[in-house]
Structure 1
């Protein structure tokens, strides 16, 4: 199993930390991982993305030009990365801030009302964990108990009291992910 993904959105949406949690969770399962962040100098409010590879085999390079999965959280990222999803791949997106939804017909598309769910949960900061939960529902590449260990490893200890809320957000994301379209993969 090898999953090559990009998570892209605005700085401040938890893009990089979502990738880091996936990477640490993969390590907890003895998988090979890469975590390759990219962001502009403006940080919050600017665009940010991270490529993450989780694999059973050695990874030759963290640099990717196409992806098995793209998690898209803003329109600029949709414009840039929708075309980089491999045919038969998966695109997950939060419609908040997306004015032109994905149009490709050769990929699986899922929608997550993560912003809305996080606000309903009373903490907009768990938005990225709602999205992470949706991803893990669509592509269960990691066990949830290892995701909890990944959270413990990636969050500073002073935030460990928030782990139950983050786990609740992951669960919420698994419940609310909507299928927009699925495609048959030819073998």
Structure 2
């Protein structure tokens, strides 16, 4: 049985909800059962944002997750708030560009990823989320990475199509960072 539970957290404007939506659309396209629960503050940018995503090959009884297997922390407040809830044996991805400490827990696997610096290197200054998404896909193996362009088109609904090559490059750079970790 395959069931992957994700919590992605950061602040508004970082693309946190888009990352979750990408996972949801990709899961649907690949015939998986999917739940996607976004949560965000009243602010459009700068407020808190997170989402819960479950991908499974069986029915999902509840969209809520108390101990996700994989957490993505895009900033320091998210790292502080959500590191404690990662399931023992789970994975924590830390955007070390904005979260300036490593994981404290010893019972999880953590990766500190300089997502902003990697995004800048590929020419996509606002692409830290795409770098982290590529890393997440490489670690979880939950979706077919080769189909990423199709899932991005669905996620952004035609917006930013001119940015597709850079988004894909940022995702590949994030996946490569994990391969070289």
CA contact (8 A) 2:17 2:38 kept: yes
Aligned twin of 1:31: 32
State the TM-score, normalized to the length of structure 1.
0.91
Which contiguous aligned blocks of 4+ residues in structure 1 show a shift greater than 3 angstroms? none
Q: Give distance in 1, aligned partners of 2:15 and 2:125.
A: 11
Q: Give distance in 2, aligned partners of 1:8 and 1:73.
A: 6
CA contact (8 A) 1:37 1:49 kept: yes
State the TM-score, normalized to the length of structure 2.
0.93
Distance 1:45 1:158, change over 3 A: closer
Distance 1:127 1:99, change over 3 A: closer
CA contact (8 A) 2:124 2:170 kept: no
How far 1:113 sits from its partner (Å)? Answer: 1.1
CA contact (8 A) 1:67 1:89 kept: yes
How far 1:158 sits from its partner (Å)? Answer: 3.9
Query: C-alpha offsets along residues 130-172 of structure 1, whole Å, 9 cap, x if unaligned?
Result: 1111111111111013322211111132422222221111111
Matches within 5 A, 1:27-176: 27-176=28-177
Aligned twin of 1:183: none
More strand by share: 1
Q: Secondary structure of 1:17's partner? A: helix
Higher relative contact order (CA 8 A, sep 6+): 1
